[in-house]
Amino acid sequence: MNVLIVSIYGVGSYSKGIMAEVLQTELDKKNSNNYFYVSCSKSFDTCYFNKDKEMHRCDSCRYSIQNTLELIDGDFTNLKISDIAAEEDIKTATEFFQDNPAISKGLFFENYDLGEATLSTYISLTRDKELNFIDQNSYVAKIAYNCLITYLSIKRFIKNNAIELIYNFNGRQDYLRAVFRAAQSMGVKCLNVERARPGGFIEFYENALPFSILAKKKLIDDFWNESPDSIQVKEDIASEFFEKKRGGLETITRVYTKSQEKNYLPAEIRNGKPNIVLFNSSDDEHAAVGDEYKNSYWENQNEGILYLVNLFGTELRNYNLIIRMHPNLSNVKHDYTTSVLELDRKFENIFVIGPDDKVDTYALIDISEKIITFGSTVGLEGTYWGKPVILLGKGRYYYSDVAYVPDNVAHIKSLISSPLKVKDKVNSLIFGYYYTKGGVKASYYFQKGVFTEVYFKNRNLSKFKPYQKLHIYSGKLIDSIKSKMK
């Protein structure tokens, strides 16, 4: 069998360790398979990690991949995208963008959602999920062009080399989604690989993006159902996740509550009214992954928040609505964040707590009668801590009976004003169990924390050889001079 492993990035991403892990563990099987390993390695001068075309970043990426592959034991074919891209692919991409110069979410080439793939990168870089400030002549156009070349060249490579299996990292952004869609177009099984949690644990998504709600649900449910641990042991392990989160310890993502003051609550919300606490989401990473996260009630989360503010201000005045903005929005100055801040005290029972405010998230959970979320992990936590949760958006637990999901907009008011039982705590524990113990333990890749150094075979993949350091440093000087001359 011919197997293709694609690892685009060599810097800025833990993918460099994960995809090397995939290659080495495949080679360890010592079967008759033929393995091809494809990276960018300066095939393009623009990507998510190098939107400004800086020479030293491309050199760092290329050297990192080179150094990592020197650690591999076994035979494989090492290729760059530029090695497999044909003149015909470049010609097709050029002609396509001559006819389609504007990059929009609706831009497709065959089955490849080229517009969303490109804009997913743009939104991650700028947090501009509403595309209010996009410059169509910037790096966005260049990345889109490179995306199409990647898609076409991978398709060609699949056909010419009779590829039967592809390993790809993540699959959400730009060139990564190009690989995934090329595999789908050619009817070839694609395993998108991601980090499950720190400590060297990875997970595989067969013909699905890691952002797929149903694909993630299957991983989580299967892990719970197939575990040899007793129910009590599973529940104890799962509880660790929620206890660590509340204690400000790192779990599967960065800690967002470090700057909050334990047990602190603003005095003005202590007015004797029952509290409904709304936790919004930093949902920009879902803004370009298809319709699965499309809100069932409104065009976007902000419309929903405004609806709730008016509902509480006019019809549910005997309640407080406390809006806790997600801490991951603290440096986002776009309208979708500033407009929520402006809702504070629009009515006397509306309180907005900014993303960088020291108010304790868990103290808010404790004083709440009910919790409303748009998909944030705090929905899982709310159920764990014994609070009824109402879910008004799509999230990991949308199909998992962790929260009440309204039938329609009219149903929301009755859910808020009626007594609700807390959903079965086990439905949250299933997630906590996976987040604490799930994933496949890597043999060679390791990363202690969410943002710590990436290791492969006990080597720090951020380290360079002396001549490489010199080359990278000289490139940095040239980049600096070029930048000053602009």
Q: What is the pLDDT of residues 381-418, one digit of tens each?
A: 999 999 999 999 999 999 999 999 999 999 999 999 99
Give the mean model confidence (pLDDT) for residues 120-147: 95
Give pLDDT, residue 312: 98
Give the mean model confidence (pLDDT) for residues 183-195: 98
Domains of the chain: 2-200+442-485 (3.40.50), 231-435 (3.40.50.2000)
Give the mean model confidence (pLDDT) for residues 322-336: 94
The percentage of the chain sitting over the pLDDT mark of 70, rounded to a whole number, equals 100
Give pLDDT, residue 485: 83
Give pLDDT, residue 373: 98
Per-residue confidence band for 376, with pLDDT thresholds at 50, 70 and 90? very high
Give pLDDT, residue 375: 95
Give pLDDT, residue 471: 95
pLDDT digits (tens, 9 = 90+) for 217-237: 999 999 999 999 999 999 999
Q: Is the predicted pLDDT of residue 332 greater than 80, yes or no?
A: yes
| Strand ordering across the sheet containing 163-169 | 77-80, 34-39, 2-6, 163-169, 189-197, 201-206, 440-441
Give pLDDT, residue 285: 77
Per-residue confidence band for 482, with pLDDT thresholds at 50, 70 and 90? confident
Cα–Cα distance for residue pair 458/444, rounded to 1 Å: 7
The percentage of the chain sitting over the pLDDT mark of 90, rounded to a whole number, equals 96
Instruction: Work out the mean pLDDT of the chain and round it to a whole number.
Output: 96
Q: Is the predicted pLDDT of residue 486 greater than 80, yes or no?
A: no
Per-residue confidence band for 36, with pLDDT thresholds at 50, 70 and 90? very high
